[in-house]
Structure 1
């Protein structure tokens, strides 16, 4: 039995959207995609240009936000898997995902890493304004 047939509306899943990974609930089945309502962040999206990953010398170095709590997004069925376990608090999971990405960027010691960390610091301030 394929993954598509096993999943249904209401299931808790992981899904990869662009370069981020999330835990969410399937709210609609849209033929080749599921509409997923975000409940937690497992991996924060990479910063910069998606078409030129890990490159700093691009026309515009994008700030990539994580999907918000309860935001809904279409995720290709091939990128959605059943989630087992307890769903972490959204903001706790977001904080851990940012910290993990910052640690990875610290290892790089590159212009891309420095630019990414600056974007992430600004995002972190915005995400947690009034929460810390």
Structure 2
């Protein structure tokens, strides 16, 4: 993916979240990016058992922070074209979208995920 130049804007999928980020550099273990906005909030729970509440530990998964650096596998980084939204607004929009999707989920996983997201939302926007 040598066509990327430092400062290019990309989308990056990290675990189950999707972000708009600034490309920093390629390294042997992936692409280093700096987060600018959230497109999809990470799913809650165990990554290895998606949508399963009956796991040893139900993980609370935070979105990556504004300007946080992340090492992303090369195949998960794509060039982005378009406006980069404000980080806080994009985070709020991604949370609202995921919460709306979870209202259609029945069962323990949906309930636990919704509780996690509501707690995260309070942390994200507590000022």
What TM-score bracket applies, with the shorter chain setting the length?
over 0.9
What is the CA–CA distance in structure 1 between the aligned matches of 2:28 and 2:9, rounded to whole Å?
Answer: 18
1:107 positional shift: 0.9
More divergent stretch after superposition (89-98 vs 22-31): 22-31
**Corresponding position of 2:10:** 13
- Runs ≥4 in structure 1, deviation > 3 angstroms? none
Calculate the TM-score normalised by the size of structure 2.
Answer: 0.97
Match of 1:104 in 2: 101
- Give how far 1:9 is off: 1.5
Once residues 108 and 32 of structure 2 are traced to their aligned partners in structure 1, the CA distance between those partners, rounded to angstroms, is: 36
Pairwise CA distance, 1:44: 0.2
Equivalent in the alignment of 2:80: 83
TM-score, length-normalised on structure 1?
A: 0.93
**In structure 2, how many angstroms separate the alpha carbons of the residues matched to 1:127 and 1:108?**
24
Match of 2:30? 33
SS in 2 for 1:57: coil
Displacement of 1:5 = 2.6
Matches for 1:41-120 after TM superposition, within 5 Å = 41-120=38-117
What SS does the corresponding residue of 2:103 show, helix, strand or coil?
Answer: helix
Q: How many pairs align?
A: 127
Question: Is the Cα–Cα contact under 8 Å of residues 9 and 29 in structure 1 kept in the other structure?
Answer: no
**In structure 1, distance between residues paired with 2:27 and 2:50:** 29
- Structure 1 unaligned blocks of 5 or more: none
